Amino acid sequence: MENIAIDTCSLHQVLDIREPDLCPYHDRSANVCRASLSSIRIDGNRCAGYCSCDNFDNCALFLAKTLRRR
């Protein structure tokens, strides 16, 4: 049986799902992180681990943005 890995970033983008648990700095249309100073592109592993779940507050980019705002 073949294993199929689902990229949750792409899935949310295709389905246009709006969930409150998604990172507020993740720009799904461009797949970039607006929390970073350079708006870096997000790879699938980072997106699945942080951006597309309620674990985004453990992301180093999110924490750095939060500290810069203070």
Report the domain count for the chain: 1
pLDDT above 80 for 24: yes
Confidence of residue 50 (pLDDT cuts 50, 70, 90): confident
- pLDDT tens digit sequence for 57-70: 889 999 999 898 76
pLDDT score, position 47: 85
pLDDT score, position 20: 55
Confidence of residue 9 (pLDDT cuts 50, 70, 90): low
Using DSSP, state whether 54 is helix, strand or coil: coil
Cα separation, 54 vs 70, in Å, equals 22
Using DSSP, state whether 51 is helix, strand or coil: helix
With respect to residue 3, please indicate whether it lies within any of the assigned structural domains.
Answer: no
Domain extent at residue 15: 8-68
Cα separation, 18 vs 28, in Å, equals 10
Q: Which residues, in sequence order, are CB contacts of 61 under 8 Å at separation 6+?
A: 25, 33, 35, 36, 40
Mean pLDDT over the full length of the chain? 76
With respect to residue 1, please indicate whether it lies within any of the assigned structural domains.
Answer: no
With respect to residue 28, please indicate whether it lies within any of the assigned structural domains.
Answer: yes
